[in-house]
Chains A and B, each alone.
Chain A
Amino acid sequence: MRRILGQASAPVQPVPGVARPGRLAAGLRYMRRNISLVVGLLLLVTLALFVGIGHMVVDTSKSRALSVPALRPPSLQYPFGTDRQGRDLLATMVAGTPLTLRIGFIAGLLGVGVGTILGFISAYYRGKLDTFIRGGVDIGLTVPGLLVLIIIAVSLKQSLTVNQMALVVASLAWLNPTRTIRAQVLSLRERGYVEVARLSGMSGPEIILQELMPNLLPYLAATLVNAVSSAILASIGLEVLGLGPVDAPTLGMTLYWVNYNAALINGWWWWWLAPLGIILIVFLGLFFLTVGLDEIANPRLRRAG
């Protein structure tokens, strides 16, 4: 092909964008700036280690009732003490934490999964579909969530398993993600590169997956963490009210028993301190992680150079 544009005479140099140093060095330098991310990850990793090592070291069968002497304060033998029904609280925490997290994860994933699909479709195709979805979400969000969950949980005749719990919480978990993802996609779809993609012959789904999705990944990650956080909170709320899986040693159920047995008044401080401490670590970890991810997702920071 004949040249139609004169040669850029000097070798074309990349314009001052920072030269790319080693990946590791860049990663470490970023970690120093984004402290929230580091703190969040550290907290969650600590928790994971607690659970992981715990399962190897501690006998989790002692998390069932009547396995150990009741109401022992923390000692060398029972580092977290025991509760009134004879559960080793350390074993309960080790066994229960992953259950609570699992509920949160499943509900959060489902919520964000459905929310992503609905949000993308709604925002990209617009029109009547968008009005319908958006209307549904807006109405759904005005209804008090916990109330709905309570009604659902109460209507289910049998007692729930952990997985069923996750599904109950997931039933409402998709509302907020749909809304926020839709808002993000609405702004992204006006970008020049989306129009160029259309003109290059890409179809709607291809544009959603290849052009829009990659730019939304950090935002989706932040939304996921948020959704997991809300789901855990909702599940703990339901469990404390006694609507959760009664036989499982989840954190919320432990708090239910704490309540039921008036542990606070009776001075059995180790009983409520353990689950509350773990819940605190979970939420702090998720919170800092969200803040850290938000920083990555923030376009001002993401747009390089």
Chain B
Amino acid sequence: MTADVLRVHDLLVYYDTPVGAVTAVNHISFSLKAGERLGLAGESGSGKSTLALSILRLLKPPGRIAAGEVWLDDVNLMTLSAEAMRQVRLAQIALIPQGSMNSLNPVMRIKEQIADALKDHGVRLSKRQVAERVHDLLQWVGLRPEVANMFPHELSGGMKQRACIAIAMSLRPKVIIADEPTSALDVVVQKQVMETLARIQTDLQAAVILVGHDMGLMAQFVDRLGVMYAGQLVEVSPVRDIFTQPLHPYTQMLIASLPSLAQKGTFQGIPGLPPALRALPPGCVFHPRCPHAVERCQTEAPLFREVRPHAWAACHLL
């Protein structure tokens, strides 16, 4: 049985606002095996990006991590010093951030940006070795060697995204967190970029956490999928099961609302609105919109537990 490479335990993250502390990540726990692809799906405001940034301790004020542990192998990242954490980032956990195409330095050539990342992590190589490493990295992500000398504005969206993947891979991390890496890309380019990511991940034997809201992308890419709602994990299951036998009512309604390309049907949205994070409903956070809610749901928050082998959900009805 493959060991867990990453374990998040009871993570609690607040945002401090003028009206008080708002819970953005509400006691979330999950684990990630080496080489596995885990998806974190949720709509806007569900806390998925906050979760991704918190794992890497990249959260800026007014966000703050209030409690919880993040175990990378057997090191609790929350206990590391700022400098030690900096070393862990990129070398062991890499982030492909949202809008990463815009996080490339516009006045530096691609090769300089990769070299920068290597140097920053104390990798001592001669100039020629760095050039070789850059060449290999670019080839790995499917970019022509000439790209090394180009500036970001000379590349297309897909190429920039692949350059960001190259930077993320440069130190061969164990875990890659990709936060909506393809949201600005065309469907065809999206597939190419995701295939590149998949290939690299296999080569590295790294684990991937894909954060996003495109359920189709999740369905085609990840092994296991976690569904987030209002800062909580409501379900985590193998991705096939999510689509064939969803456990949590929110997951069920979400799947039902997705437009299919197989046949025409009716439009079934989820009535109501996600709750404002500063005014979460008591009991189960989904109960105001849940068609199956009973009295217990209004007062008692359900536990997140293993309902079937490998399938976790938080619902009183299961």
Contact = CB atoms under 8 A, between A and B. Distances in A.
Interface in A1-25: 6-10, 12-13, 15-16, 18-19
Interface in B241-292: 269, 271-273, 275-279, 281, 288-289
A9 B272 contact: yes
Given A16-B276, A16-B277, A9 B271 contact: yes
Given A8-B271, A9-B271, A15 B288 contact: no
Contact of A7 (B19, B271, B279, B281): B271
B28 interface: no
B18 interface: yes
A94 to B, nearest CB: 46
A19 B19 contact: yes
B22 A16 contact: yes
Interface string A12-53: 110110110000000000000000000000000000000000
Contacts of B272: 7-10
Chain B's interface size range is 10 to 19
Contact of A18 (B18, B276, B279, B289): B18
B242 to A, nearest CB: 24
Nearest to A21: B18
Interface string B17-48: 11100100000000000000000000000000
**What range describes how many residues of A lie at the interface?**
10 to 19
Chain A facing B: main interface SS: loop
B289 A13 contact: no
A16 B271 contact: no
Contacts of A12: 273
Contacts of B275: 10
Given A13-B279, A16-B278, A8 B273 contact: yes
A13 B19 CA distance: 15
B277 A9 contact: no
15 contacts: A6-B269, A7-B272, A8-B272, A9-B271, A9-B289, A10-B273, A10-B281, A10-B289, A13-B276, A13-B279, A15-B276, A16-B17, A16-B19, A16-B22, A16-B277
Interface of B: 17-19, 22, 269, 271-273, 275-279, 281, 288-289
Given A15-B276, A18-B19, A19-B19, 7 more contacts: A7-B271, A9-B272, A9-B289, A10-B273, A10-B289, A12-B273, A16-B17
